[in-house]
Amino acid sequence: MDRQYVREYSHALGRDMELLRFGSGGLPLLVFPTSQGRFFQWEDFGLVGVIAPWIDSGAVQLICVDSVDSESWYANDRHPSERVRRHVQYERYLLDEVLPRLPEPPVTCGASFGALHAVLIAARHPTRIGGFIALSGAFDTARWLDGYHDDGTYFANLLEFLPGLNDDAYLRPLRAMHPKVIATGADDANVSESVRVAGLLREKGVDVWLDIWPGWAHDWPFWSDMMRKYLAA
């Protein structure tokens, strides 16, 4: 399997960023780690191995990016508006510095906090993303903002801005995405948020596949099984 490590300075973030790329052809999957996780997480926990048959066949390639969650959502020493501003800078890094190197709009993938990233960037920038696979996500970003609210926090919270989203410039590309998967366990602590986000998207004509697994299903072995299922679908 072709494996490439990249470390480069990000102008959007003002520091070096690292990523791993697996494969050299096929549909790009843009992979986010779990909360405050690193770019090598999917390799370390075996998901790259799980996806290897699709990579080796040339069907997909993986771009595993690093996170800045400790500088944004989890940066309790920063004002909430600064946390959201840092997240927006992270989005600019992805949109301006990572995506232009890909052959086509990627399918965003992530588990746990990575699921939030996967759906949020797809909803905020639907013309740049081809689809999403979100596993065991938590989607109400208000929990990381200490009760603070402004326009920036509104547009960074799917549960807030999706109900009022009526612009076809956003809805048409969202509806055209494939795949559109939100999966979680029936006993996951955040299952209601997955159901809510899927419901809000469906109300806008976005045919999300909401897949509820038995039990908790919030760990790497479950996420491995989920990725096998959705890539084979």
Residue type (1 letter), 99:
L
pLDDT for 92 equals 98
Range of 215's domain?
3-232
152-184 pLDDT, tens digit per residue, is 999 999 999 999 999 999 999 999 999 999 999
Structurally, the chain folds into a number of domains equal to 1
For residue 172, the model assigns a pLDDT of 98
**Residue 215, Ramachandran bin (φ over 0: left; ψ between -120 and 50: alpha; else beta):** left
**Domain with 200 in it: what CATH number?**
3.40.50.1820
Residue 28, Cα to own-chain centre: how many angstroms? 13
- Residues in CB range of 121: below 8 A, 6 or more apart: 91, 94, 95, 108, 128, 129
Number of C-beta neighbours around residue 116 at 10 A: 27
Distance CA 105, CA 178 (A): 11
